[in-house]
Amino acid sequence: MKFLRYGEPGQEKPGVLDTKGQIRDLSGKVSDLSGPALSPDVLAKLVDMDIESLPLVSGNPRLGPCVAGTGKFICIGLNYADHAAESGMAVPPEPVIFMKATSAIVGPNDDLVIPRGSEKTDWEVELGVVIGHTAKYVSEAEALDYVAGYCTVHDVSERAFQTEHAGQWTKGKSCDTFGPTGPWLVTKDEVADPQNLAMWLTVNGETMQNGSSKTMVYGVAFLVSYLSQFMSLHPGDIISTGTPPGVGMGMKPPRYLKAGDVVELGIEGLGNQKQVTRADV
């Protein structure tokens, strides 16, 4: 099933996509797509309901982030060998972990704001994993039992902030609007294999990234298990699992986003995003 959130920022309501691609209002069933609503028991009941009986949402409302109340936005760096190569870095012996501020999370089609002083704002299409119930010290074999579903994530990065300033990567990843998420939270039953999903991204209609989650170094089950050894993963937490090659930093010469550019991206079965870039004022 494809769950979503719609409405103006801060006023989103939960919804679900019906078989005709129309939005049905879900607020009579759950207050929002967060916390308890993401548990296996609740999701199972929602998946079994009669979608056509839910109120039809008219018009073409804005789509918000597909998950509410995210406590942790955990990102994995250099998780595709060919992307590590284009970045001039070695494949890490263990996953590279960094955090993206939750204040960066926006809807899939909201404007992408280039921050003040930025000259190297870059793109990265990534598979997002949404946690459904608390995971701590879980094995790789049982890790996917703790996943509510999957979504498309745009891990926008400011490369100068990330790598040319002293300190950690987080400040180059956490600018406002640097975490478009959605359009949908797709439940596990609709994703036969998270390690075999086509991924793509274009800038102004030109293909930049054309890859697949099958080339990940560390797969979804391993990452959920690995992270749970160091921190508890809670419902609504998002793991952004890395990007395939084709980012602007890896081009010769490098190429970055400027105001007015249009970025489109998507993942097989998980939906597409479209952002227009503008400068912060």
For position 140, what pLDDT does the model report?
98
CA atoms of 127 and 194, how far apart (whole Å): 8
For position 8, what pLDDT does the model report?
97
Query: Where are the chain's structural domains?
Result: 69-279
Taking a C-beta distance cutoff of 8 angstroms, is the pair 125, 157 a contact? no
For position 193, what pLDDT does the model report?
97
Burial of 193 (0-12, 13-18, 19+ CB in 10 A): exposed
Helix ranges (H only) for 49-177 are 81-86, 159
For position 47, what pLDDT does the model report?
87
Architecture of the domain whose range is 69-279: Alpha-Beta Complex (3.90)
CA atoms of 278 and 281, how far apart (whole Å): 9
For position 88, what pLDDT does the model report?
79
List pLDDT tens digits, range 222-259: 999 999 999 999 999 999 999 999 999 999 999 999 99
Would you call 81 helix, strand, or coil by DSSP? helix
For position 55, what pLDDT does the model report?
97
For position 165, what pLDDT does the model report?
78
Residues of the chain with pLDDT under 70: none
Stated pTM of the model = 0.96
